Structure 1
Amino acid sequence: MNERYSRQELFAPIGQVGQKKIREARIFVLGAGALGSAGAEMLVRAGVGRITIVDRDIIEWTNLHRQQLYTEQDVIDQLPKAIAAEKRLTAINGDVAIAGTVVDVTPQNVLDLMEGHDVVLDATDNIETRLLANDAALKLGIPFFMGACVGSYGLSFPIGVQDNQPCLHCLLETLPSQTLTCDTVGVISPIVVTTAARQVADVLKYITGTSFVPKLESADLWTGDRASIEVKSMKKAACPSCSENAVYPFLTSRESMKTAVLCGRETVQLSWPESRKFELLPFAESIRGTVSKLIHNPHLVACEYNGHRIVLFRDGRMLVHGTKDIVTAKKIAAGLLG
């Protein structure tokens, strides 16, 4: 028995056999923010063999209250999250092969990034990337452990661990509002740790071969409300992402976000597919306390946010003024739209 993992091996459902399987596991962590840093740390301490951490962002002061791997010095040094996470996690467990990659996940690169892993841990901060990852994991046949939290509410669901279960695309219409974000309504760290713990517990069950029924788990730690739902009946027979005739729409340009830097202007245009519908009035109300100079009418919502002028049109286009950088524009959109 390895002394380092002795208490984990004493846990009967894992044991020495399970620990060996954990040691052989290759984990892909999509996002190194709150959920990603918490989940990655748990998995590294558990002794997984290899972890790849992908994130496009740098560490900011607003991250530190809930993103537990990072320090004030990381903010001062303007370190990318993936690099700081790799450094910190390597210091925690040098036996784990850890690779941090600073990149924006897109339909063009997601399959190459995910391939060769046994599990995908979802820790992304927006629904577009989450749906893209759902399609990529399904196409590659890799289980996708979805997780999300905002305010004091979090939910998790393991996808692809059993036959004939729904995917994220199947459940999209039944999930809570996708317009609430940490930037608009905030988030508290206890729900981050709770949600990440549920994700990682399911990952460990899967890795060690423990039989379990995948459930949609949700909790609001402020109100005390909790739910655990079997959602097998919600699988859609004609789902374009997980049916027998799957076409993985979010891996195609038709269903992915389009970006363009407008000629002669410091403006980036982001365009969402028709399947992503925006209700302007609810959106305007959801960001009222977060933005300034808010204007909304039947055609658009305009505001100022983080030093940029933002205009969201009813047809699914957003203009982000004051930048030519697509990654910056996508980060701003994720902060407002989720």
Structure 2
Amino acid sequence: MDIERYSRQILYKNIGEDGQRKLLESTVLIVGVGALGSVSSEMLARLGIGKLILVDRDYVELSNLQRQTLYTERDADEQKPKAIAALEHLKEIRSDLDIEVHVNHVDALFLESLVKTHDVDLILDGTDNFETRLIINDVAYKVGIPWVHAAVVEASYVVAPFTQDSPCYRCVMPVLPSNTLTCDTAGVISPAIHTAVSIQVTTAIKLLIGETFDRHYMTFGDLWSGEHSRIAFDNIKNKECDTCELELYPSYNESHQALSLCGRDAVQIYDDTITYELSLNTAKRLGDYKETPYFIEFYYDDYRIIVFKNGRMLIHGLKRIEKARTIVAQLFG
């Protein structure tokens, strides 16, 4: 153990040398390294987590830099996948960090395979949509590890830990809202993100070093108004919950081959029959394209299309999945 590097943290009575050793032996998986995940991954790297696994399906854009503090203008200029950019910057911060990244969309089977393969101790939520959080929730409860939820929009935030002895996220959110505010529709300020992640990572530290929870609290706040509160949610368990009671884990049965991205005016299409070579040939035929080490970018009828090497496609400029499927059919037959 590098005592000097973590000396101030070891001096803190609630962590100490034993707690620091546990952190150095822990593995954390972060789903999404945008605003939340880029900040939490840096905090975890600096505090001495043993291994980080990062999963993100997106790439860095200029509008990200206002709040996604791990990234730079060069990352945006190169349209670098966030997971790749995060790996490069985190390695500059801590060269001995064991880190693995995946530029991929998350489904239940993929996430479970990562958790089991790497003996993950805890999952952190860095996502921006309810569907992926339900996937995290189902996998965490099925495998038997904790996860810590966080969400931010405008100046408000919410953070909550979910463990095997607490109600799960599906209990707390039994009906998903049909229309919600997002960072892309309502905006967000960076201090709210850092506040949420500070609580989220502190909660993760407690779980990793073995501090028990007498009560499970959901923490709310609005930095603009200065209002902050907590509510206990131990007593709201749904006795018919498909996840933590009936153990049906519905996310495993849901297909996400096509997904409208929250607030992005973009649709994601996942089709493993569309090879990288086929996509590249199509882009060349259309004429206006760019190839990076990570994806192909081209335009079709004013729609901006990004195709990753595993066949995952982002079609920008529309929200309707049906229209996206039509475009794919027109391009690839």
Q: TM-score, normalised by structure 1?
A: 0.76
CA distance in 2, matches of 1:322, 1:232: 46
1:331 aligned partner? none
Task: State the secondary structure of the residue aligned to 2:173.
Answer: helix
Cα 1:175–1:229, aligned 2, differ >3 Å: closer, same or farther? Answer: farther
2:274 aligned partner? none
Out of 205, 214, 217, the position equivalent to 2:216 is: 214
Task: State the secondary structure of the residue aligned to 1:324.
Answer: helix
Structure 1: 5+ residue stretches without partners: 261-266, 271-305, 312-316, 326-338
Whether the 8 Å contact between 1:269 and 1:318 is mirrored in structure 2 is no
1:143 aligned partner? 146
Number of positions where the alignment pairs a residue of Structure 1 with one of Structure 2: 274
Alpha-carbon offset, residue 268 of structure 1: 6.6
Q: TM-score, normalised by structure 2?
A: 0.77
Cα 1:19–1:231, aligned 2, differ >3 Å: closer, same or farther? Answer: same
Alpha-carbon offset, residue 242 of structure 1: 0.5
Q: Kindly report which structure 2 residues correspond to 1:7-86, keeping only aligned pairs within 5 A, or say none.
A: 7-86=8-87
Task: State the secondary structure of the residue aligned to 1:114.
Answer: helix
CA distance in 2, matches of 1:103, 1:137: 19
**Identical pairs, percent:** 41
1:310 aligns with 2:310: no
Instruction: Give, as a single letter, the amino acid of the residue that structure 1 aligns with 2:99.
Output: I
Task: State the secondary structure of the residue aligned to 1:101.
Answer: strand
CA distance in 1, matches of 2:150, 2:267: 29
Whether the 8 Å contact between 2:36 and 2:193 is mirrored in structure 1 is yes
CA RMSD of aligned residues (A): 2.4
CA distance in 2, matches of 1:145, 1:211: 15
Cα 1:70–1:268, aligned 2, differ >3 Å: closer, same or farther? Answer: closer
Task: State the secondary structure of the residue aligned to 2:107.
Answer: coil
Deviations 1:125-184 (A, max 9, x none): 111111111101111111011111111111011101x52x11110000489886111111
CA distance in 2, matches of 1:192, 1:222: 13
CA distance in 1, matches of 2:25, 2:73: 34
Alpha-carbon offset, residue 322 of structure 1: 8.2
CA distance in 1, matches of 2:326, 2:80: 23
CA distance in 1, matches of 2:316, 2:178: 26
Alpha-carbon offset, residue 269 of structure 1: 9.1
2:126 aligned partner? 123
Whether the 8 Å contact between 2:267 and 2:318 is mirrored in structure 1 is no
Deviations 1:253-305 (A, max 9, x none): 3xx54539xxxxxx9798xxxxxxxxxxxxxxxxxxxxxxxxxxxxxxxxxxx
2:7 aligned partner? 6
Task: State the secondary structure of the residue aligned to 2:328.
Answer: coil
1:237 aligns with 2:243: no
CA distance in 2, matches of 1:152, 1:320: 33
Cα 1:142–1:225, aligned 2, differ >3 Å: closer, same or farther? Answer: same
Q: Kindly report which structure 2 residues correspond to 1:172-251, keeping only aligned pairs within 5 A, or say none.
A: 172-173=173-174, 179-212=180-213, 213-243=215-245, 245-251=246-252
CA distance in 1, matches of 2:172, 2:235: 10
CA distance in 2, matches of 1:203, 1:222: 26
Deviations 1:74-115 (A, max 9, x none): 011111000000110111111220112111112341211222
Deviations 1:200-233 (A, max 9, x none): 0000011111233321001111112212010011
CA distance in 1, matches of 2:123, 2:318: 35
Q: Which has the higher contact order (CA 8 A, sep 6+)?
A: 1
CA distance in 2, matches of 1:215, 1:16: 27
Q: 4+ residue runs of structure 1 moved beyond 3 angstroms? A: 173-178, 267-270, 317-325
Alpha-carbon offset, residue 8 of structure 1: 0.1
Task: State the secondary structure of the residue aligned to 1:12.
Answer: coil
